[in-house]
Structure 1
Amino acid sequence: MSLQVEIVAPDRIVWSGDASQLSARTVEGEIGILPGHEPMLAVLGNGDVLVDPVGGQRETVTIDGGFMSVDNDKVTLVAERVDAAGLGA
């Protein structure tokens, strides 16, 4: 099983793909998402989002706030500002 992840900025899709796990900072603390996670909505804090792609190396995206939705192994993060300098080519 895997997660279908999409990280979105106001002007573009920053990262999209299948991942084995994801972690992010919410306003209530750090959270890790694995396949089978309960549905949830969360307000994101500033910080790094770490994505472990299926069959790939960890990707890091730095965000400034936003929100995250998790439902049926689909994770969508919408961020106000995104620094994707940590993404691999």
Structure 2
Amino acid sequence: MATLHIEVVSAEASIYSGEATFVALPGESGDLGILPGHTPLISRIRPGTLKIKSSDGTEENIFVAGGILEVQPNSVTVLSDTAIRAADLDEARAIKARERAEEALRNTKDKADLAVVEAELAMLAAQAAAARKFSHKRSSH
């Protein structure tokens, strides 16, 4: 069975490195599905869930807060400022951070600061949604 080598790297650490048969992630223009032999591609990615189907049949889910994707026929590299394994997501912490960002948004008057806070808010909303999704999956098994 053909595989891809997958690397997921955040600003803090290497999050995932291994062989996979399929990768799905939120591309800038829509969701992307990548199989071995995919055409080379470089794209921005949106905040959301990166799904990796390992060559042993297991599935790994990683929250990414946006970033850059590079696809080569036999490899995929994801570079993200923030990448968190689904098992490590904390919905309550993400909701509290989102509430702090919403408060900052209400108190911000400068347009440049406003854009930064809005981007942070979008990332935290996506992180909370991913945490909620994966906490339900863990509790139902």
User: Normalised by the size of structure 1, how large is the TM-score?
Assistant: 0.92
Q: Which position in structure 2 is the counterpart of 1:33?
A: 34
Structure showing greater radius of gyration is 2
Q: Which position in structure 2 is the counterpart of 1:67?
A: 68
Whether the 8 Å contact between 1:61 and 1:85 is mirrored in structure 2 is: yes
Whether the 8 Å contact between 1:59 and 1:86 is mirrored in structure 2 is: no
Q: Which has the higher contact order (CA 8 A, sep 6+)?
A: 1
Q: Which position in structure 2 is the counterpart of 1:84?
A: 85
Give the superposition deviation at 1:41: 0.2
Q: Which runs of 5 or more residues in structure 2 are unaligned?
A: 89-141
Question: CA–CA distance in 2 between the matches of 1:63 and 1:37?
Answer: 21
Map Cα deviations across residues 17-58 of structure 1 (whole Å, 9 max, x no partner). 000000000110000000010000010000000000101411
Question: CA–CA distance in 1 between the matches of 2:58 and 2:39?
Answer: 25
Q: Which position in structure 2 is the counterpart of 1:12?
A: 13
Whether the 8 Å contact between 1:10 and 1:80 is mirrored in structure 2 is: yes
**Structure richer in helix, relative to its length:** 2
Question: CA–CA distance in 1 between the matches of 2:44 and 2:7?
Answer: 16
Q: Which position in structure 2 is the counterpart of 1:51?
A: 52
Q: Which runs of 5 or more residues in structure 1 are unaligned?
A: none
Give the superposition deviation at 1:82: 1.2
Identical positions, percent: 26
**Structure richer in strand, relative to its length:** 1
Give the superposition deviation at 1:76: 0.2
